[in-house]
Structure 1
């Protein structure tokens, strides 16, 4: 059994064909915080997401094509009531978590490996929580056992820990599909940062961070908060892969919309949160 040179990818959010109404905003910080609470309570409708646009400082609510009828009317009413600091966009595609896969890893679904880490000196692999359940056994593309998923958190957050079967310390690197990129640190994402992600479906894709602390509603009552939003494309199977900038790892792909032919948006679980919670370190 070998350790994985981790490639990044994740879950994609629909970002093509958005229709937005733009309303000027002056001092959004306090009202945006309140608006998030109201949306969570009154408009956590499957197929919706929201995050702050760094260029306008407005809270942008996105509704995919499945949001219609009474649900769409309800969403419009809530957004209207929230005033000038909130705007509504409608997408022609569908928000979804992608579970099919840097290096591909397999259980009942194919996903992408995220990042090799150490916890209490033992090697683990991070990926997306929606990719599998606690206790699931994971293998690589050759069918060799990688390890067992010992922690899976989804929804609210979206990450999982796979305990390596082999106790040998793995390398912390990203698969670039033309070599590897060494990861030296876990960093804090900032709006406008130039980033890359690697995944087993679409390889390495590039773009920038377009929002922080995003909320995505995937449906069936499943909502994920605190996500990093980018304009980097992804497709099913890229889920769980890493978001990175140079030698700095930033997140794990959770979901998004669109694809790598027409473009889209993607959302990532913050690595800082996971590292802090489990006291993780890089090998």
Structure 2
């Protein structure tokens, strides 16, 4: 028996999780994808990460820098995500990578594939980073999941020759090469759900702390953090 009907399946996409690696074309820099955000104006998806990751180029004619997907366990990315426009890192070390490649899939989750029972942590919202002594964790390309204690809030730190304010210091956790990592409170009762509370931007080994930018400094009125609720909403088409 033959059929005149054919079924077309959507193309497989390379999902980029928070905590995955990102790299520039000629390996001048490798960092970590933070989390997906959407434009409130046109629902365009972007990956938020540390802005300094683009400082070495190579630069496109418009000054942007292309980034490629680098999943855990790989050393070279071959799937273009898209460009990061020249970021203004004078106040906040953040940048946005535009999803330009249709083969890249958007997923509001953080990678945790070292745990076979809970390989991804689903983003259910955001929460202010406001409690000294609380435990927060990050997911990074190099050191994967690690946690530390919030040492101080609303402090100033020198980073890359600049003075940044409003920063949280977190006790030293493995974070080399993990700039841009999503940071979330350790609340096991919520797992596999998590709230994003900030983004890791650097470390100070001699002083024993990592630098985290709180979420309220990262999110502006024109963007919002993508959550698992957006994924199941029928009126969103950002995956296409």
TM-score for both structures, normalised by structure 2: 0.70
Aligned equivalent of 1:200? 141
- Give the 5 Å matches for 1:178-257: 178=114, 179-190=119-130, 191-218=132-159, 220=161, 222-245=162-185, 246=187, 247-257=194-204
2:29 to 109, 113, 121: 109
1:132 to 50, 54, 57: 54
Q: CA deviation at 1:219?
A: 5.2
Aligned equivalent of 1:22? none
Structure-2 change in CA distance of 1:132 and 1:277 (3 Å): farther
Unmatched runs of 5 consecutive residues or more in structure 2: 1-12, 56-62, 71-76, 188-193, 231-240
CA distance in 2, matches of 1:219, 1:119: 29
Unmatched runs of 5 consecutive residues or more in structure 1: 8-102
Structure-2 change in CA distance of 1:277 and 1:159 (3 Å): farther
CA distance in 2, matches of 1:252, 1:186: 12
CA distance in 2, matches of 1:280, 1:267: 22
Report the aligned-residue RMSD.
Answer: 2.2
Contact 2:47 2:97 in 1 (8 A): yes
Q: Does 1:118 align with 2:38?
A: yes
Structure-2 change in CA distance of 1:6 and 1:132 (3 Å): same
TM-score for both structures, normalised by structure 1: 0.60
Aligned equivalent of 2:237? none
CA distance in 2, matches of 1:242, 1:146: 18
By relative contact order (CA 8 Å, sep 6+), the higher-ranking structure is 1
Which runs of at least 4 in structure 1 moved beyond 3 Å after TM superposition?
Answer: 166-169
Q: CA deviation at 1:273?
A: 2.1
Q: Does 1:150 align with 2:85?
A: yes
CA distance in 2, matches of 1:153, 1:237: 21
* SS class of match (1:177): coil
- Give the 5 Å matches for 1:1-283: 2-7=14-19, 103-107=20-24, 108-120=28-40, 121-133=43-55, 135-141=64-70, 142-166=77-101, 170-178=106-114, 179-190=119-130, 191-218=132-159, 220=161, 222-245=162-185, 246=187, 247-258=194-205, 264-282=208-226, 283=230
How many residue pairs get aligned? The number is: 184
Q: Which stretch has the larger CA shift, 107-116 or 175-184?
A: 175-184
